[in-house]
Chains A and B, each alone.
Chain A
Amino acid sequence: MDVKNDFLPDFPGDIYKDDNGKTNFIVTSVDALANWGRSNSLWPLSFGTSCCAIELMSTVSAKYDWSRFGFEVMRASPRQCDLIVVAGTITYKMAPVLKRLYNQMPEPRYVIAMGACAISGGPFFYNSYSVVKGVDHVIPVDVYIPGCPPRPEALIHGMMTLQKKILLSKAYVIEKPKEE
């Protein structure tokens, strides 16, 4: 029985087809549940290098209060986190440390580049010899938030964008290497 063709012609389940070309609908339900859980309990790493870290702290604190959206628990150890908010400038000396922190995080892991420095080097793009021109040279980035520094509202918007991205992801699909 092919679920898609017989019962749900609009069901976007092509990606879940198994080796026989049949769609497994149980996996898609688990997927939705896992994505719901993941998107609403993101645990960020308490990592800030410069000015943006203060706005990050403002977002955590009383007035803006990002725990309303499920980002409540900030952890100091990367092994307990699934989100890293790169708040501030990354220099060439800091880049290996950041890479190592990212590798220590358990999968699935997400990265938000907060502020102009993390996106492109920001005000230190020209004439600076020690600044990495964008954190995406070091680790893959999911969401970029512009600003120098971004307002707390902008950060919350970026985090909610990440939640939407997680909801659309296919957590239990293992992409097979394409046969040549």
Chain B
Amino acid sequence: MDPNKKIENNQETQELIDAYLLGKLDTAALANFNERMKIYPDFRVMVEEQRLLFKSIEEHNLKNSLDEYHEEILEDPKKNWQSQGWLAIAASFLILIGVVSWAIFNNGNSPEKVFAANFKPDPGLPTTMGTSSEYEFYYGMVNYKRKEYAEAISRWEPIYGANPENDTLVYFLGVANLANGNPRQAEKYLQMANKKTKSVFYEDTKYYLALSLLKENKIQEAIEALTNSSSSANISLLQQIKDL
């Protein structure tokens, strides 16, 4: 190898350095790569520059992910109780006081109260998309998790136009609409999702469908949506609606 040779800063070189940084070179290629680094100072500089970019991109994205994880901690009071026993005891007292007060001052429940007590948007899918083929869906999910529901809906609706059969999409469009204060539109999507009996979201769909109907004051339909449901959340919600 000629040490004065100019190493081209092109796509091929960039991909070779990527393979090295990601640990994808086999033994022979790695030996060759290390040899090139020894001989060509320019190449060494390129590798270091790319390593720095790699690290920066990773750290930038990790930081963003940490904010998402943090949101989930804040939204998940159940976890706090698990790690703070005393808080669980305090919460139990509060519940006890609540129950006693309810028994004394019970003025009857309303669909609004049941809705407010039970509606919490689905936490969403991890933004590592697995088998997803839609980049807009991916970004919509980022919006959804940031509670930018209108933005998420506007990204997802065009995808829905092209993929009306996608159960994940109709489910999240339903929940996003409900979170965005549009139960009628939510009902439309969730009724579609409710037909996908093999969907992993099937039980959750019934839950949010019942809440959409409740929000629209369609009590009987909400009861019907939950009848024969097997999840404990659905059974509990059904009981609360029946008690109205």
Q: State whether these chains interact.
A: no
**Interface set of B (CB-CB < 8 Å, partner A):** none
